[in-house]
Amino acid sequence: MAVIQTFGLSKRYKDKWAVDHLDLQVEQGDIYGFIGQNGAGKSTTLKLLCGLARPTRGEALLFGKPVRDLVSRRRVGVLIEQPGLYPDLSGRENLKLYAILSGLDSPDKQVDEVLETVGLVPGEKKPVKHYSMGMRQRLGVGLALLGGPDLLLLDEPINGLDPEGIREMRELLLRLNREQGLTILVSSHILGELSKIATQYGIIQAGRMVEQLSAEELAQKCTDYLHVRTDQPRKAAALLERELHLTRWEMRPEGEIRVYGAVDTKAVGQVLTQAGISVEEMGLHRQDLEGYFLARMGGENHV
């Protein structure tokens, strides 16, 4: 089931299209990595999805209903950029205040559950102004979790975090996805930050969707070549050409064969071993993800 669908979603500010005919699809259970450089239109898209901004053209559906539908909207938790926190209140007090203002049932229970989920100590009195950036962002996700949403929209929650903070945020998102079944759309301008968790990617540039692809497709596209080292390289190469119709290959020094393009690694292994050729080494050489992203963006700009 599609949790988010947009059709030609567009938003114009004065004479500039911040979002331009965007078709985006997020399925239930996805962790959707929404990747784009500064000014690409990520935040505007998220604002359109949560009803903070109105589309100039096109439409967005959440759970199959228009964004303005209150029932669907209640199933969505949002964190756009920095969470709005009261610096002198503790994490617990911030959450409780928000829970009360939102009219949630049994706020204390919900707040304790959320604190535990995001890895903050429920009884801690420390004011938020003394929190690390990572703790603040996790508390921000906590705010988005109040009310028990099915979908989380997170705008750059990893931005500005140190490696430890990034790791904690990644683990939190994976846990929410796997254990609580949340569908998550998370934006970033750094593909590598999401590469360990995203199941789907959408790449946005100048308001337009450049490419939507699954994690497997991305991995495949980032594959430069497969290298195979065997005890009989010439025979192996001939066999791969004949049996698997692999034509883009080259023989390297010391009998290493490199096969370019998308290759079925398992099939290569099978064909060789069945012919009695012993495979000494085999592996995929990958282009790094950031390189792929930059290439898709035109290659010149920095992310």
Radius of gyration of the chain (CA): 23
Residue 284 CA neighbour count, 13 Å, CB half: 16
Residue closer to ligand ATP by CB (options 44, 223) is 44
Stretch that binds ligand ATP, among 41-49, 146-154, 164-172, 284-292 (CB under 6 A): 41-49
Residue 151, number of CB atoms within 10 A of its CB:
23
289 near ligand ATP, rule: CB under 6 A: no
Minimum gap (Å) between residue 280 Cβ and Mg ion: 49
6 near Mg ion, rule: CB under 5 A: no
43 near Mg ion, rule: CB under 5 A: yes
CA-to-CA dists, residue 30 to 45, 183, 198, 240, 270, angstroms: 18, 5, 8, 36, 33
18 near ligand ATP, rule: CB under 6 A: yes
What's the rounded Cα separation, in Å, for the pair 71 and 171?
A: 29
Q: How many residues bind ligand ATP (CB under 6 A)?
A: 12
183 near ligand ATP, rule: CB under 6 A: no
SS3 282: strand
Question: What is the distance, to the nearest Å, from the Cα of residue 25 to the centroid of all Cα atoms in its chain?
Answer: 13
Picked from Mg ion, ligand ATP, none, the partner binding residue 138 (CB below 5 to 8 A depending on kind) is none
Query: In the set 3, 26, 31, 40, which binds ligand ATP (CB under 6 A)?
Result: 40
37 near Mg ion, rule: CB under 5 A: no
Picked from ligand ATP, Mg ion, none, the partner binding residue 194 (CB below 5 to 8 A depending on kind) is none
What's the rounded Cα separation, in Å, for the pair 95 and 142?
A: 8
What's the rounded Cα separation, in Å, for the pair 9 and 169?
A: 29
Minimum gap (Å) between residue 229 Cβ and ligand ATP: 44
13 near ligand ATP, rule: CB under 6 A: yes
Sequence-distant (≥ 6) Cβ neighbours of residue 11 within 8 angstroms: 17, 18, 19, 41, 44, 48, 53, 54, 55, 56, 207
Binding mask 183-212 for Mg ion (x = CB under 5 A): ------------------------------
Stretch that binds Mg ion, among 38-46, 60-68, 243-251, 292-300 (CB under 5 A): 38-46
Say how many residues make up the chain.
303
Query: In the set 15, 38, 105, 179, which binds ligand ATP (CB under 6 A)?
Result: 38
Alpha helices in the chain (DSSP H): 42-50, 70-73, 91-101, 107-117, 133-145, 163-180, 191-194, 215-221, 233-244, 265-274, 289-296
Structure tokens at 67: 């964004």
Stretch that binds ligand ATP, among 39-47, 120-128, 238-246, 249-257 (CB under 6 A): 39-47
Stretch that binds ligand ATP, among 32-40, 111-119, 248-256, 285-293 (CB under 6 A): 32-40
| Interacting residue ranges for ligand ATP, rule: CB under 6 A | 13, 16, 18, 36, 38-44, 189
**Interface with Mg ion by CB under 5 A: which residues?**
42-43
